[in-house]
Chain A
Amino acid sequence: MSETVRRRGRVGYLLLLPALLWLGVFFVIPFYSLMATSLYDPGGSDFRGYRMAWAWGNYSEVVHAYWPELVRSLVYGAVATLLCLVLGYVLAYAIAFKAGRWKNLMLVLVVAPFFTSFLIRTLSWKLILADDGFVVNTLQAAHLLGADGRLLATPVAVIAGLTYNFLPYMVLPLYASLDKIDHLLIEASGDLYANPFVGFFKVTWPLSLPGVVSGTLLTFIPAAGDFINVKLLGSPNQRMIGNVIESQFTDANNYPAAAALSVVLMAIIVAIVLVYVRRAGTEELL
């Protein structure tokens, strides 16, 4: 009998192997490499090579130098996520409860932008928000924007771009959550004296929380680390941490600084996610 138990144990490990391999190749090794790079001697270069120096000072240096970009990334990411949530919830709600036979078509339309490159789509926003474009002209005519006011190279453009680009990542999990809600529960809340407004906040919203949590995470995490939207729609004044990391890697060739910033960003996001998920009471997601 102990023989079969042992064999079963071995089979268990064998079945775990693909997952462990996957984790090893795609997470542990890159993460190790990133951590190691972040501790290299900052004096190294492509030309002279890098040396492991346990240079913890890299961290304090980058945080000291780039904390405004870090904070800005988190703020832009949070605002874009909030906008995505509001827009995405309305859309997902409409698809789940009101679309009827148009449901599948609407879902396809949500995903349709993915058929065009991310860069092309962001570039077309550059045209839409251009200084002599329709949107700016209209806003100027309505005196919502000064005569020399602009949208490009402002936080508005960057956040709009982030919101636009990550909206589908919000809509899909929200839809999945809302679509699962038994319509009878909403009828039951009406039967129990809840008007539609109260019924929404007491029944629909709490039951859609898993979708809200996964949607906001799927939006916030990439949005906070994004650099394309600032590059195409913003200016150096809107620099986010992704832009700093990118330029440290590609322009300054300062690999240790770039790696240290990446680790800091990762640590901050993990901390935020942990607190957030615990507060939302949906630990089963983790």
Chain B
Amino acid sequence: MSQVADTVEATAETGEEFDGLRLRGVTKDFATFTAVDDLDLDVPRGSFFALLGPSGCGKTTTLRMVAGLETPTSGTITLAGQDITHDRPYRRPVNTVFQSYALFPHLDVFENVAFGLRRRRQRDVKGPVNEMLELVELTSQARKKPAQLSGGQQQRVALARALINKPEVLLLDEPLGALDLKLRRAMQLELKRIQTEVGLTFVHVTHDQEEAMTMADTVAVMNKGVIEQLGAPDQLYENPESTFVANFLGQSNLIEGRVRSRAADVVTVDMHGIDVSVPAARAHADGELGWVGIRPEKVLIGDEGEALDAPGNTIPGGVVTDVSFYGVSTQYLVRMPWGQELQVFEQNTGRRRLFRHGDRVELSWRPEYAFLLDHHQDASAGAQQGAEE
């Protein structure tokens, strides 16, 4: 505890220095592949940071390097200005909540939670442990062995065991992966509440995009050992910079287009004979060709010639090929004149009629919702992995 306070003061004195977790040029090579490739990352102190990506993207390896369970092949890891790249795990002010919890089966809940304090020879163990058990609502289970607890309770023990040490950074390795959906949602809120309450830096590794977006202040989307994009959840979702992010976070319609002109604030793209515009700030492609992207819920669907509230980008000639009614919303598949099927989500507000299979429709969207991506990227990158979860 005093350790945390000391470092806060130390960095306050040195002023400008970044006092969070910083990775610079971190690479991890295994015998046959590179798990993490020249990674730069800044996690500000006190933030809830999510590393999001499909399995095998290097997110867990990154976490293990921060924990000291793997040694980077090259690069440095600093925490509050101190180089910890080669520190032994037991010397780092970092604790981990493991995916499988890794609770000590021979110790009861109380002793599991007390483990870190006892190793650091803290004199008062009983008070903090009881406080922590109260925080995770396990006071009545203190004398039980981990095997006697449910999955959700074990998860909370794992969390308490790490949190009690008040680490500079708490690492969470898919901590909710083993829980069923309902419990997972409850634990997400719980984790978020605890993080706000204790104010520690959380680095959360997950493949669940919904989990990352609902919990984290900042999300880094990882793919093949590198960070594709980093930002606030809404920023990532609304303005993806690569096809992988566009598909992995939610769903996107990606339509091939040819850039006709670039103005200071707007890019005009010829999309199969129809001119659409994309704000320059949302255009992430330099070449002549690009992918025009639009989220399905941003697309409006209407009868041919119907005046829709979306001046600018209107694409006629669509035919409804599939209708899925979800109650709260309806999902359409619309075949466009150039043969591609686009997705449209519409809220069932009751103000608009339902379309049927075979109806002729036109689609439109506001230009400010569209984005433009590099044509060299695979238009289906990340789609499968995102949909699986």
Contacts and interface: CB of A to CB of B under 8 A. Distances in A.
Q: Which of A185, A188, A189 has the most CB of B within 10 A?
A: A188
Nearest to A192: B116
A189 B98 CA distance: 12
Interface stretch (B6-14, B100-108, B176-184, B330-338): B100-108
A195 B87 CA distance: 12
B165 interface: yes
Nearest to A207: B106
A182 interface: yes
Nearest to A185: B102
A244 B178 CA distance: 62
A191 B119 contact: no
Contact of A191 (B89, B100, B105): B89
A53 interface: no
Interface in A92-146: none
Contact of B89 (A182, A187, A202, A207): A187
B119 A184 contact: no
B106 A198 contact: no
Nearest to A206: B106
A189 B105 contact: no
A188 B106 contact: no
B88 interface: yes
B89 A190 contact: yes
Contacts of B161: 192
A183 to B, nearest CB: 9
B100 A195 contact: no
B69 A191 contact: yes
Contacts of B96: 188, 191
A195 B88 contact: yes
B95 interface: yes
Contacts of B98: 184, 187-188
Contacts of B120: 193
Interface string B262-284: 00000000000000000000000
Nearest to B164: A192
B104 A185 contact: yes
B47 to A, nearest CB: 21
B266 to A, nearest CB: 51
Contacts of A202: 115, 119
Contacts of A192: 90, 95, 115-116, 119, 161-162, 165
B379 interface: no
A223 B237 CA distance: 71
Contacts of B100: 182, 184
A203 interface: yes
A199 B104 CA distance: 11
A188 to B, nearest CB: 4
A194 B165 CA distance: 13
A239 B96 CA distance: 58
Chain B contact patch, size range: 20 to 34
Contacts of A198: 119
Interface in A15-29: none
B249 interface: no
B342 interface: no
A187 B69 contact: yes
A24 B369 CA distance: 85
B119 A193 contact: yes
Nearest to B119: A193
A191 B95 contact: yes
Contacts of A190: 68-69, 88-90
Nearest to A187: B69
A180 to B, nearest CB: 10
Given A187-B69, A188-B96, A182 B102 contact: yes
Interface in A54-86: none
Q: Which of B88, B95, B119 has the most CB of A within 10 A?
A: B119
Contact of B116 (A182, A185, A193, A195): A193
B99 to A, nearest CB: 9
B129 interface: no
Contacts of A184: 98, 100, 102
B361 interface: no
B67 interface: yes
A87 B106 CA distance: 25
Contacts of B68: 190-191
A90 B220 CA distance: 45
B115 A189 contact: yes
Interface of B: 67-69, 88-90, 94-96, 98, 100, 102, 104-106, 115-116, 119-120, 161-162, 165
27 contacts: A184-B102, A185-B102, A185-B104, A185-B105, A187-B89, A187-B98, A188-B102, A189-B104, A190-B68, A191-B67, A191-B68, A191-B90, A191-B96, A192-B90, A192-B95, A192-B115, A192-B116, A192-B161, A193-B90, A193-B116, A194-B90, A198-B119, A199-B90, A202-B119, A203-B104, A207-B105, A207-B106
Given A184-B100, A191-B162, 8 more contacts: A184-B98, A187-B69, A188-B98, A192-B116, A192-B162, A192-B165, A198-B119, A206-B106
Counting from the closest, the 8 A-B pairs by CB-CB distance are A193-B119, A188-B102, A192-B116, A184-B102, A190-B89, A206-B106, A193-B90, A191-B96
